[in-house]
Every structure is written in C-alpha cells, then in structure tokens.
Chain A
Amino acid sequence: MTARPGRGKQAGGDRADSDKAGGDFAARVLASARAASCRAAEVFIKSSASRQVAWEPPLRAGGPAQIAASRAVEAGAGLLIVDSEGRSGLAWRGGGPTLLEAPDDATIAGFIADALAAARAGGAARGPVAAVDAAGAIDAAAATGATGADTDPGADPDPDASGSLDLVDPECLGRPEAALVALVEAAALEVAAAAEGALEVDRILVTEARTTVRLARLDGFDGAYERTIAALAIALVPALAGAAAVTEERSACRLDDLDPRQVARDAILRGLPPRAAPASPPPAEQKPHVVLAPRAAATLLAALAPWVTAGAVSVNRPSALSIVDDGLAHGRPGSAPFDGSGRPARRLLLLDHGRAVGRLTPDSGPFQRPSYRDLAAMAPAGLAILPGQQREDRAGMPGAGAAGAFAPSGPTVRAAVIEVRTGSTWVVQIRRGEWESGAAADGLYWEGTPAALVRAVAATLDDLAFYQVGLPVAAPTVVLEGMGPWRRPGDDR
C-alpha cells in the first residue's frame, strides 16, 4: 500500500487546521507505537460538529410546539496495535478539538500504554484486526475477495474521490435554525393533512452533522475525508384503533435531498389501520403480479441483506433482481473514499440477475466504523437494487402508453407497504396494497423461501429511491411474478 498524504482538504482555516492537527496527532501516536516495538498500528480519528432540532406537538390545542435544539462538538481517536508478540489491542480517547490539536506527551504515552495493555489482555491478531499486522496484507486479502467488484479493491483510494463523491453539503450547519424548524413543520403539516385522523406526530427529528475522518497506519497509509450527513426521523403514534406506531427515517449527505412531505407520506402509509378485505376478493390463487413500490422494495432488500451479503441466496433461473453494495454512490451517507479499515471504497456486485456473484468477506470487507470507540466491522456501505430502464405505464402518469413502458397484464396488486418475516419459512405480507380494481389487498400474505422471492422478480423500474430502514438502502419499483398462492389471514390452508 502506498503512503498517501491526507485527503479531502478544502478551503477554510478551521478545516485546514483540523486536518493538520489530526495529521500531527496521528503521526505522533504512530511514532510512539513504533518506539514501543509495535509490529503494526492504525490510528482512526473522527471529529464532528452537529446539531439537531426535535419537534413535538403542542401539549394542548393552540399551544406552542415543543422544540428542543441541540448542538455538539466532539473529537476522538482509536488506536489499534499489534504488539511485538502478535497480540492486538485497541485503545480510544474521546474529547474535543484540543485532544487532537495540543496533545501533551503524557496523553500520547497513556494512549500507547492502554493499547499495549489491551493487547496483553487480548489474543493473537486475527480477522480484520490482523489486516494491520503486515504491509501487503490488505492487497493480498483484496486479491482473494475481489469477486464482483466493479473497482479494484487493491487500488489506493482515489485522491480526488472525496470531492467527486459529492459528500459535503457546503451549507451544513450554516443555515438558520428556522430552516430546520420549517422542515420539521412541513412534515408535521403533511401528517395532519394526510393521516386521515388515524395517526399523530409523536416526534420529528432533523439532524445535521459535519464529520472529518482520518485513518493512518504504520505501513504508510494516511487518508482523510470530510462528509456531511442530514437525517430526518418522523415518529407517528396511533390516534385510532388499529393504527400502528411507526418511525420513518431518511439520511443523505445534503439536507435538500430530504423531502419531509414524502417521508411523512411513507410513514403514514405504514401506520394506517389495515382496511377490511372486500367480501369477494379477486382470486389470489391466480398468482397475481405484485408491484412493490420503492419503499416496499426497500423493506424486501433489508430482509434479503444478510443472505445477499453472505452469498447465501442464488438462483439459476433468470431473475431481474441485481443487487450491489455501493460505497461510491454520490451524495450517500455510506459512501467514502475508503472504508473503516482503509480499503478503497468500491461498488461490489452481489447478485447478478439472481445469481450470487459477490459477497462481503472478513478479508475484503467492506468495513464500517461508526465511531473511534469501535473496531472496524464488516457491513455493507449502501445496498441497492439495480433499477431497470422501464417506467411504469399507468393511466394518468407521465409517459403512459409510451413504447417500452411497463404495464403488467392480468391480476395485479400494488403494494405500498409490506412486512417480511424471516425464519425457516419466509412470510411476505402486504400491509397496504390495492388490486387494480381499487379493492384493498391489505393483509394478503405469501409463504416461501428467499430463493423463491428472488426468482419471482420479473422487472425493476427506473424510479430508484433512497431509504434508511435500519441500514441505508436504495430500491426502485420491483415487480414480482409467479408467486403464489397469496392468502388472506384466516384462510384455510
């Protein structure tokens, strides 16, 4: 691995000072680790400034909304070492900017001493920890785990990647607080207007953070980048019997990429009470097309994630389902020039038309590191179902009737909200959906295997959208064909 200077610097004295301080701190810690006979050492530094506005509805009609505004500044460093006897240990220090800018000798010595003590209490370096143990280890690991990668995982991080990934919102933390309050109020108004009185806002949170990450190792690697993150969370509670409490979340690098009204509508759909099934429902046994809206497809993707990232689901019959783990998607919070262990970020094809072609591995990662207090852990950077070229052909929609537009034939259920329960048998249940006649399809469920689900994907459309469903995912409309039977709750089997 080639040594690299710090990356991602931008104009602005504070940022440049912070970068320099982080670099100096890392260099001093690594020099001390070398003097302590460490065979390998890695310093991970993360500093952040953030703010959050929490909005709660008035306690009484006509009263003021409850607003809580928070700001936070934090910096910290994690030091992972392999000592002279091959044992690994991690020490971390949490503090503020002064930790990085003006560390005294005692602070550095204490840091090294704790890492050495951790190594003594631990064991032989292995797994991702072992990657720092020898120069070249990462390149070797990457060579064995490169299946499906669209980029070369053994390559150095692109020095310009941080900028080209569009990870920074220049207005982050610079907007007036009123702008954040207006955003959450827009979401609250949407809930009031569209929830049919069935749901009320419990709490809405909007958060902005500007984060700088630096990772430097004894083997010469030294990388840094800056990223901003905006997050919106809307928590609804039932106001009518049968409605459900839900929390709907989104995140993006830019606040402007968050649509509070759309997030509110998605939350409402998930929380509304199920509608009564029609007296004579269309015959479910005909294996209808099931058209999953992007939010519903995101739920499906989140359920498939453990299987797909492990390469544990694969079908031979052609499927329209292709899934990538994309650490290079523009403007996405999971993207970065390098991952939590210093490996270049990449776009890894996991599922190619239903066939498993790649997987996350303990050797090649990718690894995520939420905080300097954590070890790097294998996890996807940003799973996405690859969108197709087609646009849905529905009366009244733009492009309706155009050549190449997608229009399912035969009985069709459009599902806005689904639930996927995994286990020895998988259950996909439509929580909110309609037949083309307009009759409710709420409650219909299917049982089968994850492979059967993958096989059933007949098309993906062009309307890719981004969600936060426990992990960041992106999904377009997904069309399922040939799955059946779909049962109603209470049907005899």
Chain B
Amino acid sequence: MPSRHDPALLRKAAAALASRAGDYGDLFVESVTTAEIRRDEGGGRQVLLGGGSGAASRVLGADGTRHRAAGGRDAGDLIGVPAAALAEALTDRGADPGAADPVTGGAPPVDAADTAAALARYLDALEAAVGAGPLAGGGAAGATAGGTLQMRAEARAQQVIIATSEGEIAHDRRAWASFTLRVSRPGRAGAMLSAAAGGGARDVARLVAIHPPAEVAARLAEALDEAGAAAPAPTGAMSVILGPGVGGILIHEACGHALEGDRALRGRSAFANLLGEKVGPETLTIVDDPTLDGLAGSRRIDDEGWPAAPIVLVDAGRIAGLLLDRATALRAGTAPTGSARRESYRDLPLPRMTNTFVRAGTRTPEEIVAAVPRGLYIAELGAGRVDTATADFSFRVRRGFIVAGGRKVAPVGPCLIAGNGVTVLAGIRMIGVDLRFDPGTGECGKEGQRARAAVGQPTLLVDGLVALPEGT
C-alpha cells in the first residue's frame, strides 16, 4: 500500500524505464475498493462490493509511447519492473484497511462492507422520504400513486502511487460517494412525469449530511409539479439564462474540452488558434481547479504525480491556458499543468478537466432575470452532444422556465438548446454573484475513459443560443 512501499526500489525501477537519452518513464500503481447499490423499478436491490489493484509502466520517447499494464500482485513482472518494487504496493483485495496514509493525509481507506451498510441505510431513508412524498402524489400536481423509483449509490476509494524516471514519487488517496435517483409517476392527464436528483460527497457521512433525504424528496416533488404544469417550450434564437450550478456542464463540454491540450495541439479544437485572443467579456474568467475542497474532481496530485493546481483557462475574457499532461506539454515545449487523468492503470493518461467553473460576477440573479424581456431560464441540463473541433453543441433541457417581462412565468417541457462554444462565450452579457457547483454526480467521458468531474457556474445571461423542439 502507499504507506508501505519501498521508495528506493520504486525510484530505481522508474529510472530504469527511461533507458535511452531523452526518454521519460513512469510507474502508476493503483488499488481500488468500491461499494455499489442499485435499486430497480421493482424494488429489487443489488449490492456489489469489489476491490483490486494493478500497475502500469509507460515510456515516452521519440518513437512514440509504450504502455504496459497488469493487474494483481505480480504485475511488476508483467510490465517489465522488478516484482519487489511493487509487491508491497499491490494486493488482490484493493485498499488496505489499515491506517490512513501519514504522508498524504488523504482520505482514509474505506472498508467496503461498512460503506455498503451505510449506503444501504441512506437509500432506505431516501426511499422512505420519496415514497411518502413525490411518489405518493404529495406534490401540488395532485398526482395519484403508481409511480416508480430507481436508485443507485456508489462509494469508491482509490489509492495511487506514481514514480517517475526523474526521481519523483507521489501518493494520493481519493474517495467519492454519490447517489442518483429517478422517479416517475402519472400526472393528472395520465402522462408519466419524471424527475431526477442526485448528489455526491467525499464519504457517505458527508453525503448524508449534505443531501438529507427530506430535502431530496422535496426537490423531486417540486420538479414533478413543474413537469406536470409545463408549457410547450419556446423555439428559436433567444436570450437564455443558465441557472447556477449544473448549467456549468455547458461550459465544461463546449469550452473546457476544447481547451484540453491533446485536442488543441492537434488543431482539433475550435479554440486551437485563439490562445491570448479575446473571446468573451472582461468579466469572464473560467478556471479548472482540482485543489478545491470536497468536489468530485478534487485531488492533491494528477495521475502523473504532478501537483494539482488551479489553471486559468479564460482570464478576463481572453483564452489564457490549456490543460496539459506530460505528453502534450512535451509537444508544446512547456511544463505540464497537473491535468493528467486516467480511469485506471489500464488506461493511458489524458489531459482532462477536474473542477471547472466560471468565477462569480457582480449581478444578482434577480437583476439578470429582470433584464430579459423574453427568453428561457434553464435550471437543469441533461445529456448533450458536442463537436469539440467546431464547438457546436446541443443539450437537452430537463428543467426550465419561460421568462417574460423580466420574470420566470411558467415551467417548460423538454426541449433542446443548441449553439457554439465560441459564440456562447462571446454572447455572455451578465454574470451573477451566485457561483454554485453541481451536486456532485458529474462524470465525464473521453476516449472511453470515465472520470469524476465537477462543474460550477453563477447565473449567466447568454445571447446566441437557439431553443429547438425535442427530437430535432
């Protein structure tokens, strides 16, 4: 485990990887434990507890990248590293239930069985609260019973050691617990109404404290009531207000990915040639910051052992930086930004976002809504499509309101919102004071690798977006 490995052996093994002048090599050692509970629509509950470990060696050289990965106690032999260098760092079971790492001070190891029991108690409480509230038709929409509930909760703990051919050794412990649930119930007209909720935190105790079941149930009831009263969504180009928090997914997808070094340096990004250029108002600053406490993308080091640090992507409206891992930094002739992430030892690192957010501005949310004579207020975004090469995107609006005369006047039914990442930044007219992060369920996919990530945003007023009927 990270606290019991032999640094001298690891250093020597990592140094041996870079056998030719100019090569860079590193070792990535990982152990993971997870506890997951799924509740299906019929009420069946499935619990999965797991753990494992593995290691990978990587060499970056003039002729390309070499990566060898293997699971288990003898991974060293399989990846060309003396077994003794990794033996203490790898187990079959995953996280060591022993003491917390005295070096990193990171999250303590997680006992999967205890975690599963705690998650199960939390899901019991959620199920009771939702069953008594939104599922029982407790909302003002007057729905009848006959709804369904699906839930999923997961707690995951990961420990990593990274050793580089440059003599660096770094450790980290990361943990995250989260839940999602979706309810459906018939509305007054017989149509099924549905709503979703979720949240995340560093561990189950914080999860319970931050997302009390009664509050979750109340949010769902409110969302179901809105769905029951929804008016047809407006269509066409209009002013759009992105509500605080989850609206940040749009910035993440349409702008953040385009500022990841692998895409940008290959010219596969709409922002590739805009470094230093003005793309938005001077009040606009976008940051990726893995050092923020208690968010889904938080970490002390990246997956190449580089210290995590905030990276300003857009500074006072100008493109200011890219997210770089070791490979893309080499191409760019600069230093990495600590942005390397890998889903597991099986995967190569990629430059990726962690906690990406728009810094708070100066306008109150009320001022922003009052400034819109006709438009759409988006409270919750769903799945979307983004082409990072062009920055064109479309997202499903899960919750929204018609804005008329400077007021939110009615909830709207599902629709799509489409636009372009470059023009969205240019179209930002007002930035609110109310920076908020998503509830903690965010997960980002890139080249087949999943990674936890947070998005944050204050209320934004944006021109240049188009609302489209769902199914377009």
Chain A residues with Cβ under 8 A from B266's Cβ? 56-57, 59, 202
Chain A residues with Cβ under 8 A from B348's Cβ? 54, 68, 70
A96→B55 CA distance, assembly (Å): 10
Taking the nearest CB of chain A, how far is it from the CB of B349, in angstroms?
11
- A-contacting 9-mer, from B68-76, B369-377, B398-406: B68-76
A117 touches B71 (CB 8 A): no
B40 touches A127 (CB 8 A): yes
Chain A residues with Cβ under 8 A from B68's Cβ? 70-72
B71 touches A94 (CB 8 A): yes
Query: Known contacts A119-B47, A121-B37: does B116 contact A71 (CB below 8 Å)?
Result: no
A91→B50 CA distance, assembly (Å): 5
B63 touches A67 (CB 8 A): yes
Q: Which A residue sits closest to B72, measured CB to CB?
A: A96
**A74 in contact (CB, < 8 A):** yes
Contact residue among B63, B74, B112, B331 (Cβ-Cβ distance under 8 Å from A114): B112
Taking the nearest CB of chain A, how far is it from the CB of B54, in angstroms?
7
**A282 in contact (CB, < 8 A):** no
Chain A residues with Cβ under 8 A from B268's Cβ? 202, 237
B72 touches A115 (CB 8 A): no
A238→B390 CA distance, assembly (Å): 8
**Residues 25-77 (chain A) with a chain B CB within 8 angstroms:** 54, 56-57, 59, 64, 66-76
Chain B residues with Cβ under 8 A from A72's Cβ? 68-70, 346
Extra contacts, 5 of them, besides A99-B71, A238-B390 (Cβ < 8 A), are A59-B266, A66-B65, A68-B348, A88-B46, A123-B44
**A197 in contact (CB, < 8 A):** no
B residues contacting A by CB (< 8 A) are 32, 37, 40, 42-54, 63-75, 78, 92-94, 112-113, 116-117, 119-120, 265-266, 268, 331, 346, 348, 387-390, 447, 470-472
Contact residue among B78, B331, B390 (Cβ-Cβ distance under 8 Å from A59): B331
B112 touches A122 (CB 8 A): no
Chain B residues with Cβ under 8 A from A66's Cβ? 64-65
A123 touches B45 (CB 8 A): yes
Query: Known contacts A59-B265, A96-B75: does B70 contact A74 (CB below 8 Å)?
Result: yes
Taking the nearest CB of chain A, how far is it from the CB of B466, in angstroms?
15
A70→B447 CA distance, assembly (Å): 15
Query: Known contacts A74-B346, A98-B74, A123-B44: does B117 contact A117 (CB below 8 Å)?
Result: yes
B54 touches A244 (CB 8 A): no
A245→B266 CA distance, assembly (Å): 14
Contact residue among B52, B67, B471 (Cβ-Cβ distance under 8 Å from A69): B67
A90 touches B46 (CB 8 A): yes
Chain B residues with Cβ under 8 A from A67's Cβ? 63-65
B71 touches A423 (CB 8 A): no
Chain A residues with Cβ under 8 A from B390's Cβ? 238, 245
B63 touches A95 (CB 8 A): no
Q: Which A residue sits closest to B470, measured CB to CB?
A: A423
Identify the interface centre among B69, B93, B120: most chain A CB within 10 Å of its CB: B93
B37 touches A97 (CB 8 A): no
Chain B residues with Cβ under 8 A from A20's Cβ? none
Identify the interface centre among B32, B116, B331: most chain A CB within 10 Å of its CB: B116
**A287 in contact (CB, < 8 A):** no
A74→B44 CA distance, assembly (Å): 31
A117 touches B93 (CB 8 A): no
Q: Which A residue sits closest to B31, measured CB to CB?
A: A94
Chain A residues with Cβ under 8 A from B72's Cβ? 74-75, 94-99
B47 touches A121 (CB 8 A): yes
B113 touches A117 (CB 8 A): yes
Identify the interface centre among B43, B53, B70, B71: most chain A CB within 10 Å of its CB: B71
Identify the interface centre among B40, B47, B69, B78: most chain A CB within 10 Å of its CB: B47
B49 touches A114 (CB 8 A): yes
A56→B53 CA distance, assembly (Å): 30
**A118 in contact (CB, < 8 A):** yes
B387 touches A93 (CB 8 A): no
Contact residue among B49, B120, B389 (Cβ-Cβ distance under 8 Å from A237): B389
B117 touches A93 (CB 8 A): no
Contact residue among A92, A97, A421 (Cβ-Cβ distance under 8 Å from B471): A421
Chain B residues with Cβ under 8 A from A373's Cβ? 48, 50
**A110 in contact (CB, < 8 A):** yes
A99 touches B92 (CB 8 A): yes
B52 touches A95 (CB 8 A): yes
A121→B368 CA distance, assembly (Å): 47
Contact residue among B43, B46, B93 (Cβ-Cβ distance under 8 Å from A129): B46
**A424 in contact (CB, < 8 A):** yes
A461→B65 CA distance, assembly (Å): 45
B47 touches A95 (CB 8 A): no
Query: Known contacts A67-B65, A74-B54, A76-B52: does B44 contact A127 (CB below 8 Å)?
Result: yes
Taking the nearest CB of chain B, how far is it from the CB of A328, in angstroms?
28
A117 touches B54 (CB 8 A): no
**A284 in contact (CB, < 8 A):** no
Rank and list the top 5 A-B pairs by shortest CB-CB distance, nearest first: A94-B52, A96-B72, A95-B72, A117-B113, A92-B50
B71 touches A121 (CB 8 A): no
Binary B-proximity of A272-307 (CB < 8 A = 1, otherwise 0): 000000000000000000000000000000000000
A74→B72 CA distance, assembly (Å): 8
A97 touches B93 (CB 8 A): no
A375 touches B50 (CB 8 A): no
A91→B51 CA distance, assembly (Å): 8
A423→B40 CA distance, assembly (Å): 24
Q: Which A residue sits closest to B66, measured CB to CB?
A: A69
A122 touches B470 (CB 8 A): no
Query: Known contacts A71-B68, A121-B47: does B387 contact A245 (CB below 8 Å)?
Result: yes
**A488 in contact (CB, < 8 A):** no
**Residues 115-151 (chain A) with a chain B CB within 8 angstroms:** 115, 117-124, 126-127, 129
Q: Which A residue sits closest to B112, measured CB to CB?
A: A114
**Residues 184-205 (chain A) with a chain B CB within 8 angstroms:** 202-203
A115 touches B49 (CB 8 A): yes
A369→B389 CA distance, assembly (Å): 35
